């Protein structure tokens, strides 16, 4: 495989549930560093499954996946978990924050899991929360935050380890249009200013305004790839 940030070659994912469900079929995909890739498709098209195998949350039935030229499809569970902690950030539709931790400690948690001291982890988490506009919400718990604020905490947590790749699965799906726009603008800023590579799955075509390419999926296949703008724009 070449020096692209992410490469998929012949990736398929099949599930056995009484009969074989072909969630992904022979996917070839290359993602460059600094790219914002949007994956669109109807429910059941395979887009979330694709995100899961890219992020090492699921394994392909066939094919190869490499992140920074490191094959990840064949890694053992421990090495795969280590790679996820170090190189991949995840943002989900329902935030997945720990209700018993403050915003600050939710964001600091990935650093603590990687052996960073409490003081250093909290200092970095504070700086990251300030970057997403939540410097005045450090000690608030998830139940005390709006949906948009919780998603910003989730994004800060996903980015705290400076991941090679940020994967966002329906990041605006549980938000109203105002907060959804705010989250899109935040993701765009990290992509444009910090060259963060982002792959987003969504039903929301508004993401096309900030993506570099759009991957259209249907029935587990890539139906079309739409080129919108260069990475330098």
Q: Residue 1 falls within a domain, yes or no?
A: no
pLDDT at 232: 74
CATH classification at residue 136: 3.40.50.300
Q: Residue 232 falls within a domain, yes or no?
A: no
pTM: 0.94
Q: Residue 233 falls within a domain, yes or no?
A: no
Boundaries of domain holding 147: 6-227
Rounded-to-integer distance, Cα 17 and Cα 188, Å: 39
pLDDT digits 0-9 by tens, 58-108:
999 999 999 999 999 889 999 999 999 889 999 998 899 999 999 999 999
pLDDT at 96: 93
State how many domains the chain has: 1
pLDDT at 16: 85
Q: Residue 38 falls within a domain, yes or no?
A: yes
pLDDT digits 0-9 by tens, 200-228:
999 889 999 999 999 999 999 999 999 99
């Amino acid at each position: 495989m070449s020096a692209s940030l992410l490469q998929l070659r012949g990736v398929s994912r099949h599930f056995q549930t009484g009969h074989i469900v072909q969630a992904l079929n022979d996917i070839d995909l290359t993602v460059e560093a600094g790219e914002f890739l949007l994956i669109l498709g109807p429910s059941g098209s395979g887009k979330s499954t694709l995100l899961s195998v890219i992020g090492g949350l699921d394994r392909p039935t066939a094919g190869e996946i490499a992140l920074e030229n490191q094959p990840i499809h064949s890694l053992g569970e421990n090495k795969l978990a280590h790679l996820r902690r170090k190189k991949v950030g995840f943002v989900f539709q329902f935030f997945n924050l720990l209700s018993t931790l403050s915003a600050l400690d939710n964001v600091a948690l990935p650093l603590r899991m990687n052996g960073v001291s409490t003081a250093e982890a909290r200092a970095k988490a504070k700086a990251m929360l300030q970057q997403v506009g939540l410097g005045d919400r450090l000690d608030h718990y998830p139940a005390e935050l709006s949906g948009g604020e919780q998603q910003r905490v989730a994004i800060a947590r996903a980015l705290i380890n400076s991941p090679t790749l940020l994967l966002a699965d329906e990041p605006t799906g549980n938000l109203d249009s105002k907060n959804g726009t705010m989250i899109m603008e935040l993701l765009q800023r990290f992509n444009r200013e910090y060259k963060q590579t982002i792959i987003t799955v969504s039903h929301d075509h508004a993401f096309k305004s900030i993506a570099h390419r759009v991957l259209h999926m249907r029935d587990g296949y890539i139906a079309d790839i739409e080129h919108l703008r260069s990475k330098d724009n």
